[in-house]
């Protein structure tokens, strides 16, 4: 089997169409190039190059062999670069985009530990609920909810979120605990509206017939999930929110989940980053760190 150096000499000769230019590029003698090509053709058992006084060209077999050799050498070079990058200590600026509330509640508390482990990485974090173009806005990694729609991105599952309907013990004692979806008609259902569109989000439920929705009807519409959690905790009405808003209040028994049997399917939350030949050390470190921390957190809950 030909060695990699001989294959690299052959590829260089084919690219430069000259033994002299190939020898110059590689920093070896012309006779060294000629001997390597002769040795390769002897091993392969067929001529690979046509030689004239003015130029060198590929035979039909040589052209086919050249393409495969070039692909193989490129793959080996990329593999080597991946290993080299993995050994480089993460450093420099890492640009991250996260949804406002999820970022504040779940990501920010982990940033101190990340910086302790990677002190040379400077984090530049934007908080927005807008669906951004990572390449256009110069973002290295972002948090996305739901199934990945953009095929130009790579996703690593971070966690899931579950919608829950909750009410305070005081509210439920006064108005009763709903046991069916129809019971919600008699309750003050607090509404959540998107900040940018002011459009109210329907409540979602899973039933035996599939998913169904309900437009909340109540005395308040809020554009901030944390504030809605506070409103439900204060006894203003029932709320349906992502579980990351509710975990602490539920643990402290300030609010109580209801209608849990109708909770819709969990929504995946992922870290996404642009496809590239070599994943940068900064992105790799951040993604691996966050995935591990969220996995540990989920095990703690069980």
The verdict on residue 20 lying in a domain is yes
Name the phi and psi angles at 208, rounded to 5.
-65, -25
56 and 40 fall within a common domain? yes
Q: How many helices (H) and strands (E) does the chain have?
A: 10, 14
The DSSP bridge partners found for residue 272 are 142, 155
97 and 81 fall within a common domain? no
70 and 97 fall within a common domain? no
| C-alpha separations of 193 from 40, 48, 114 in Å | 70, 69, 33
Last residue of a domain, one of 36, 60, 87: 87
122 and 183 fall within a common domain? no
The verdict on residue 271 lying in a domain is no
290 and 218 fall within a common domain? no
225 and 250 fall within a common domain? yes
The verdict on residue 132 lying in a domain is yes
21 and 83 fall within a common domain? yes
Residue 123 CA to residue 109 CA, distance in Å, equals 14
Q: Which helix (H) or strand (E) holds 204?
A: strand 203-207
Question: Got the DSSP string for 59-83?
Answer: -HHHHHHHHHHHHHHHHHHHHHHHH
127 and 55 fall within a common domain? no
Whether 49 contacts 13, CB under 8 Å:
yes
The verdict on residue 155 lying in a domain is no
135 and 64 fall within a common domain? no
CATH code of the domain in which 19 resides: 1.10.10.10
Residue 228 CA to residue 222 CA, distance in Å, equals 6
* pLDDT, mean of each 10-residue run, the chain (302 residues): 86 90 90 91 90 84 90 83 70 94 95 96 94 89 88 88 97 96 96 87 94 94 94 97 95 96 95 79 94 82 58
The verdict on residue 45 lying in a domain is yes
182 and 237 fall within a common domain? yes
50 and 137 fall within a common domain? no
Residue 187 CA to residue 179 CA, distance in Å, equals 12
The verdict on residue 151 lying in a domain is no
What's the total number of domains in the chain?
Answer: 3
142 and 281 fall within a common domain? yes
User: In terms of residue numbers, what domain contains 64?
Assistant: 4-87
The verdict on residue 245 lying in a domain is yes
- The two beta strands, 191-192 and 221-222, are parallel
Name the phi and psi angles at 109, rounded to 5.
-60, -15
The verdict on residue 152 lying in a domain is no
| C-alpha separations of 3 from 58, 132, 137, 231 in Å | 20, 47, 45, 71
The DSSP bridge partners found for residue 124 are 95
Residue 7 region by backbone torsions, left for phi larger than 0, else alpha for psi between -120 and 50, else beta? alpha
CATH code of the domain in which 121 resides: 3.40.190.10
């Amino acid at each position: 089997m030909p060695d990699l150096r001989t294959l690299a000499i052959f590829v260089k000769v084919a690219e430069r169409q000259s033994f002299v230019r190939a020898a110059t590029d590689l920093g070896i003698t012309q006779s060294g190039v000629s001997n390597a090509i002769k040795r390769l053709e002897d091993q392969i058992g067929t001529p690979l190059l046509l030689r004239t006084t003015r130029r060198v060209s590929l035979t039909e077999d040589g052209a086919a062999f050249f393409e495969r050799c070039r692909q193989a050498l490129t793959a080996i070079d990329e593999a080597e670069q991946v290993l080299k990058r993995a050994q480089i200590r993460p450093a420099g600026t890492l640009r991250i985009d996260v949804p406002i509330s999820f970022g504040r509640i779940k990501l920010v508390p982990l940033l101190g530990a990340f910086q302790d482990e990677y002190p040379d990485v400077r984090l530049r974090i934007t908080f927005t609920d807008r669906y951004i173009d990572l390449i256009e806005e110069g973002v290295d990694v972002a948090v996305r909810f739901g199934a990945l729609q953009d095929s130009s991105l790579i996703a690593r599952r971070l966690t899931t979120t579950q919608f829950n309907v909750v009410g305070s013990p005081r509210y439920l004692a006064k108005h009763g605990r709903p046991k069916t979806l129809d019971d919600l008609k008699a309750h003050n259902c607090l509404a959540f509206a998107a900040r940018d569109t002011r459009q109210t989000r329907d409540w979602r439920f899973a039933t035996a017939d599939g998913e169904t929705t309900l437009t909340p009807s109540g005395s308040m519409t809020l554009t901030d999930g944390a504030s809605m959690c506070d409103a439900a905790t204060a006894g203003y009405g029932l709320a349906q929110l992502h579980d990351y808003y509710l975990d602490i209040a539920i643990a402290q028994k300030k609010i109580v989940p209801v209608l849990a049997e109708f909770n819709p399917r969990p929504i995946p939350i992922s870290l996404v980053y642009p496809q590239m030949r070599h994943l940068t050390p900064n992105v790799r470190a951040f993604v691996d760190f966050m995935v591990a921390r969220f996995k540990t957190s989920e095990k703690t809950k069980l």
